Amino acid sequence: MKVRIVLVRPRNPLNIGAAARGMANFGFDDLVVVKPFEPVWRETTSAVGAEKLVLAARATENLSDAVGDFQLVLGTTAVRGRDLQRPVVRSTELGDFLKERGADRVAILFGNEKSGLSNAYLEKCHAYLTVPTSAEQPSMNLSHAVTVVCYELSRVRADLGARGKTMAPADAASVEQLVSHAMDLFKAAGYLTFIPARKKAEKIRRSFLNWRLGASDVRLLHGIFRYLGHKMAPPREKPRTDN
């Protein structure tokens, strides 16, 4: 199983380095930072024992570049006060959840220290991951949260790597392409025109993610959408011929 740790807009350079060290402690080395604050990214040096990991980490300007080829994207959240539209997985249950999902490439998103992951990022996740903490102090330091999650992942990694082959889940980029294709089809059909495009895309995406589509399912749906689009297209006028 390939695991990628994704930090979204981290604010403290020490936290990036400490998160890298926590990853290295449990054998993980794939770190991506989305839209880092430039001074923070350049000043990241505190990663004792994980210097190579930090040097190999890369920055991206958007989430798609960070997780596009990953089959399962989990967003971390403290849960409180949020209207969550996805399954919520406790970190202690992560192993069972990953076994049940059967993904070979898993990306885990962590938000910044001030506000966590915004709804715009959580919307792109298949499920939400939370670390059970005290009700009196529910939020965690970013690097501590990364370390706890990596520890839980390390406990089940061997079992996940040894499981038999199952149907390959669709990756995040394929699902987004399917959302776009469905939106085009809805527009051509004049369907749900009273719903704003952003809300419509959220509803479609939520359904696709909940369906746990496999790669073959995505190909089939694209084929169906193309067929329906072709059927709805106005007939071409035949060229006139003068007698």
| pLDDT tens for each residue of 91-135 | 999 988 998 888 889 999 999 888 889 989 999 999 999 998 888
Domain 2-162 has what CATH class? alpha beta
How do the domains of the chain map onto residue ranges?
2-162, 172-232
| pLDDT tens for each residue of 188-209 | 888 888 888 888 898 899 888 8
Question: pTM of this prediction?
Answer: 0.78
DSSP E strand boundaries for the chain: 2-8, 31-34, 58-60, 72-76, 88-90, 105-110, 127-130
The answer to whether the beta carbons of residues 142 and 5 sit under 8 Å apart is no
Determine the Cα–Cα distance for residues 9 and 15; give it in Å rounded to an integer.
11
| pLDDT tens for each residue of 42-96 | 666 556 667 788 888 889 999 999 999 999 999 999 877 666 778 899 999 998 8
Average pLDDT over residues 38-45: 66
Which residue is it, tokens 């958007």? 62
